[in-house]
Amino acid sequence: MTEPLFTPSVHTQRHQYVIDFVTTNKPKKVVDLGCSDCSLLRKLKFHRGIELLCGVDINSATMKKKMHALAPIPTDYLQPGNSPLSIELYHGSVTQNDARLRGFDLVTSIELIEHLHLDDLELFTEMLFGYMTPGTVIVSTPNVEFNPLFPRMPGFRNPDHKFEWTRAEFQSWALNACGRYGYEAEFTGVGRAPPHLHGRVGFCTQIAVFQRLAGGGAARASSDDTGEIFSYKLLYSVTYPSLCDNNILRGCLVNEVLYWAHQLSGRRRRRRRMECGDEGSRASQTEQDGAEREMGPTDEYEESAFDGEEGTHGWEDIKMTSRGQLESYRQGQYVCVPLRRVWSCCRRIRDLSGSLARLRLFIADDPLVRLSQDGFAVVLDEGQEVSEEEEEEDAGGREAGCLHAVKEEDWDSF
């Protein structure tokens, strides 16, 4: 073929099928057998519901070329997930048992089985369904009935293929595995033929989705298990930052608190300019007031902000707005932004900390944050107050930092 037959390519469609399944079913532990250059893993790592993502391949050189692309990127530290993600790559044969791959929610085997000799395919089937006993398995393989639609194809689609099955042969293998190991299977595919040919030749790639039946698979594996087996060599391991790590959580809270303290300090500065007759500051302040009305604070948060706090606080030095909200105030060369105001203005801070008391505990000892002596306000040096231009640039940077720029690779058709 001189031009691809499908847009997007069948390679991309196979991966998208797995991604759609993960999006819908939200498995926590996923392993890709025959992961090759880790291209599917690099896409799945963005699904934060996954907590353990593994890959296995016999070709360690191919994995090593791309494995570092699985590492966290800066935005993973700026916006860590709620749960940790660990990624592990193993070098080994998919015909061998390894205890570290048992108990997975989802196993994918994309265009793998046709590379195995039939004797090895039998070992792979036993390892996958009899030993690993995952909840779900997705297996794809070429459909040889589709091959005549490719011009000038000399034989198999890849010279390393040991076989290519018809739809009947693939379904026979799958249903046999279901009967032996306690699974049920549904059949589909990607790469649809023209409508007038689809009924005759089927999909370019045929797919079986196996679901373990209640009481199937696991009982057999436990009775045959004679001990833990570790056949694979660990090539790569990384753990992503998550809010389960108190240090990561503290860093997120500190960043948010400092950002909003500067925003509220800037609001105070704009009000002073407005009082002096600066029309530009008057318009800017009107916009800021509108934004604050949209996102808070609310009476609910104001009333409950200091529930459970010990001691009393003298409020005589704190100015109040007409809405009864706490206002920033100045002490000497410093601007003090009430922590209660910061907490009530930002929903993310409230979600991360849970209460104002917990927020104070998290940030109290952080070297980047200076609290007032009583611990009720964030203290900013007057020289730390940012200009309106800097605030706009910071806001733009924060918005851009929330996005993952994922470049789509130029995949081959097979």
State the pLDDT at residue 233. 97
State the pLDDT at residue 283. 56
State the pLDDT at residue 297. 42
State the pLDDT at residue 406. 31
Angle, vertex CA 51, rays to CA 48 and CA 52, nearest 5: 125
Q: Report strand pairing: 334-338 vs 136-142.
A: unpaired
Pinpoint the residues of the chain covered by CATH 3.40.50.150: 10-239
Angle, vertex CA 17, rays to CA 84 and CA 49, nearest 5: 15
Query: What is the H or E stretch that residue 337 is in?
Result: strand 334-338
Of 130, 132, 108, 134, which Cα lies nearest the Cα of 34?
108
CA distances 194 to 2, 146, 151, 191, 331, Å, are: 19, 11, 15, 10, 76
Continuous H helices in 30-117: 39-44, 60-66, 74-78
Burial 91-103 (b: 16+ CB within 10 A, else e): bbbbbbbbebbbe
Q: Pick left, alpha or beta for residue 34 (phi over 0 → left; psi -120 to 50 → alpha; otherwise beta).
A: left
Task: Tell me how far apart the alpha carbons of residues 17 and 8 are, in angstroms, rounded to a whole number.
Answer: 12
Residue 167, burial from CB neighbour count under 10 angstroms (0-12, 13-18, 19+): middle
Task: Tell me how far apart the alpha carbons of residues 169 and 362 are, in angstroms, rounded to a whole number.
Answer: 61
Count of residues in the chain: 414
Q: Report strand pairing: 106-110 vs 136-142.
A: parallel
Query: For the structural domain made of 10-239, what CATH number should be given?
Result: 3.40.50.150
**CB of 77 within 8 A of CB of 109?**
no
Which segments of the chain have a pLDDT < 50?
1-4, 219, 221-224, 291-325, 385-414
Query: What is the H or E stretch that residue 30 is in?
Result: strand 29-33
State the pLDDT at residue 313. 38
Task: Tell me how far apart the alpha carbons of residues 386 and 194 are, in angstroms, rounded to a whole number.
Answer: 61
**CB of 339 within 8 A of CB of 356?**
yes
CB-CB neighbours of 268 under 10 Å:
16
Task: Tell me how far apart the alpha carbons of residues 350 and 361 are, in angstroms, rounded to a whole number.
Answer: 14
Task: Tell me how far apart the alpha carbons of residues 202 and 166 are, in angstroms, rounded to a whole number.
Answer: 10
State the pLDDT at residue 237. 98
